[in-house]
Chain A
Amino acid sequence: MAGLAAGVAHGGEPSAPSAKVLRPKGEQADHAGLATVPKPAPANRKELATAFSKASPSSLTDLRNMEKRVKDLVRRLSPAVVDVQVGNGSGSGVVITEDGLVLTAGHVCGRTGREVRLTFPDGKTAKGKTVGIGRDNDAGLIRITDKGAWPHVAVGDLEQTHSGDWVLAMGHPGGFDLKRSLVVRLGRIIRLEDGALRTDCTISPGDSGGPLFDMYGRVIGIHSFISGSLTANFHVPITGFYDDWEELVKVRLDQGE
């Protein structure tokens, strides 16, 4: 099965070895992985430089170690961060399976079954369709309908995530621009509560649906809402997708596609 539980992400990122399967009664096929809840990749705090576990970086050495990690992550993760055009609007998204399942924001999708044009950072494009929208949150799901083995990244969880953790926000604010490509912002989690993940990463219109990565390179949130202050923005926690997964894929399963 090439799906959410797929093995290795673009750039060698370990991904989910197995996953919980949601299969409606009488369902034989798994709809190319859609019925499978993503399983988070593991995280190991020991992998990270000590700078990331301090209350604040305290020296140039800390800053250089952080810079090195950010560069590594950007090189590894950015190929999977897409610009999403739906109708006249545009947002961002992130591919999480080799066969092209894309996490985004519900308000970027608008409704299910819409035609989508996705643009990768290198300028390549693909067609897709909106698959689902979260009932209780701003989660959105898109499926790339073109055939291909797409660059993708691992998803994470929030079990080891805390206020103060450093995070990377990526996206295509203002729409795709080949000269500039995607935009990366480093920030910190400023609040983490049930159903609410806030960071001081600056996000702008067009970033909606883009991924928030932890420093292990796992998607832990999706940009949702820009607050009045530049430094207190909201993201859909990745757990919001897991909790609503059945709902997110329900329409497609009901339609028997």
Chain B
Amino acid sequence: MSLERILKEPGSERERGAPRWVGPGPAPIRPWPFVIALFLGLALQIAHGQDTPLNSPLPRTRFRSGDETLRAFASVSHMTRHSIVKLHVDGETVALGMVMDVNGLVLTKASEIKKGKLTCWLASDK
């Protein structure tokens, strides 16, 4: 149904005295449909928590262990990061550990600590 016909339909906005464009040239474009569509689009994106198409590959930063995901742990990890150590046996990284007291007692996984020269690296690279 054409716009012209709608406007002529009995009971239409025009018929009921709704305002209509009477100036020179074509009627101006009404921005509201576009604004509403824009908001709907944004709302849908927010609802899905995505700023990329829904089935495009997930960026690595959003992987379970990606930087963006791990940022949520920042308030906890900043308190503990200086207590986490890396353990080397004969120069090879074998495990991580956590310093438990000021004397340097480290909690780690026993089965990874084989015989050899054990070196403990602090977060400060000491």
Residue B114 at the chain A interface, CB threshold 8 Å = no
Contact B64–A186 (Cβ < 8 Å): yes
Proximity string of chain B (39-66) to chain A, C-beta cutoff 8 Å, 1 when within and 0 when not: 0000000011111101111100111111
* A-contacting 9-mer, from B10-18, B23-31, B68-76, B88-96: B68-76
State A163–B65 Cα separation when bound (angstroms): 15
Q: Are A53 and B49 in contact (CB under 8 A)?
A: yes
Q: Are A188 and B75 in contact (CB under 8 A)?
A: no
- CB <8 Å contact, B55 and A56: no
Contacts A53-B49, A190-B58 given; does A58 touch B63 at CB 8 Å: no
B65 pairs with A58, CB closer than 8 A: no
**A55 neighbours in B (Cβ, 8 Å):** 49-51, 62, 68
Q: How large is the interface on A (under 10, 10 to 19, 20 to 34, 35 or more residues)?
A: 20 to 34
The size of the chain B interface, using a CB distance under 8 A, is 24
Complex CA gap A107/B44 in Å reads: 40
| A53, B48: Cβ atoms closer than 8 Å | yes
Q: Closest residue to A57 on the B side, CB-wise? A: B72
Binary per-residue interface labels of chain A (110-132) against chain B in the complex, 1 for a CB within 8 Å, 0 otherwise: 00000000000000000000000
Contact of B48 among A162, A187, A193 (CB under 8 A): A162
- Name the B residues within 8 Å of A162 (CB-CB): 48, 50, 54-55
Residues of chain B within 8 A (CB-CB) of A189 are 58
Shortest Cβ distance from A249 into chain B, in angstroms? 30
Q: Are B55 and A193 within 8 A (Cβ)?
A: yes
Contact present for A231 and B54 (CB under 8 Å):
no
Contacts of A63 in B (CB 8 A): 72-73
The answer to whether B51 touches A60, judged by C-beta atoms less than 8 angstroms apart, is no
In the assembled complex, A135 has its CB within 8 A of some CB on chain B: no
The reply to whether B65 and A231 form a contact with Cβ atoms under 8 Å apart is yes
The proximity string for A residues 122-149 relative to B, scoring 1 for CB distances below 8 Å and 0 otherwise, is 0000000000000000000000000000
Whether the Cβ atoms of B58 and A164 lie closer than 8 Å is yes
Shortest distance from the beta carbon of B111 to any chain A beta carbon, whole Å: 14
B49 touches A164 (CB 8 A): yes
In the bound complex, CA of A57 to CA of B71 (Å): 8
Q: From A164, which residue of chain B is reached at the shortest CB distance?
A: B58
A192 partner residues in chain B, CB cutoff 8 A: 55
In the assembly, what is the distance between CA of A55 and CA of B68, in Å? Answer: 9
User: Which A residues are in CB contact (< 8 Å) with B69?
Assistant: 56-57
- Asked if A231 contacts B68 (CB within 8 A), the reply is no
The 10 closest A-B pairs by CB, nearest first: A57-B72, A162-B54, A54-B49, A56-B68, A190-B58, A53-B49, A200-B63, A56-B69, A163-B58, A55-B49
Q: Beyond A55-B62, A56-B61, A58-B71: 12 further Cβ-contacts under 8 Å?
A: A55-B49, A56-B62, A162-B48, A163-B52, A163-B55, A163-B56, A164-B49, A186-B64, A188-B58, A188-B64, A201-B64, A231-B64
A-B contact pairs, 11 of them (CB 8 A): A45-B47, A58-B72, A60-B76, A62-B72, A162-B48, A164-B49, A164-B62, A188-B58, A200-B65, A231-B63, A231-B65
